Structure 1
């Protein structure tokens, strides 16, 4: 147990985290991620011709659903469209 000197504030007292705000932010992120997953599922239900018209493939959609490391599904699909347009 750490001792604090008079006039020192505890780490918790100095924190600017509001638990209610953090909870609402978590719910907002969860809702956004759920909507994004639903949109990707809808893309997977399109036939090959429609996906080709959009410039993507089902594999591109699956890659977008697994996007990590700061890449969003939109970034992955945009790169896939650019790559498919060149080829």
Structure 2
């Protein structure tokens, strides 16, 4: 029998309940909806405002096409950095 440290959890304790999994899924869905809403609002801006932000409609469409939430911010930050270098 292995001795576990106080900070370690057994495999049974590490498995999540279906309720917790549902709560995580709902939180992810809400975050994705908020992201889509924010990006859609950016699409409503005119080209001059987007240019001030250093992004284009193509960048926004690419961000909307990404499935990973974290990929969105990196994609737009890279577009802004590219724009700043020009």
TM-score (normalised: structure 1) = 0.77
**Cα distance in 2 between the residues matched to 1:36 and 1:17:** 26
Q: Is the 8 A contact 2:32 2:69 kept in 1?
A: no
Pair 30,74 (structure 1): closer, same or farther in 2 beyond 3 Å: same
Cα RMSD, aligned residues only: 2.0
- Larger helix proportion of the pair: 2
TM-score (norm 2): 0.78
Higher Cα Rg, which structure = 1
Matches within 5 A, 1:1-12: none
Higher relative contact order (CA 8 A, sep 6+): 2
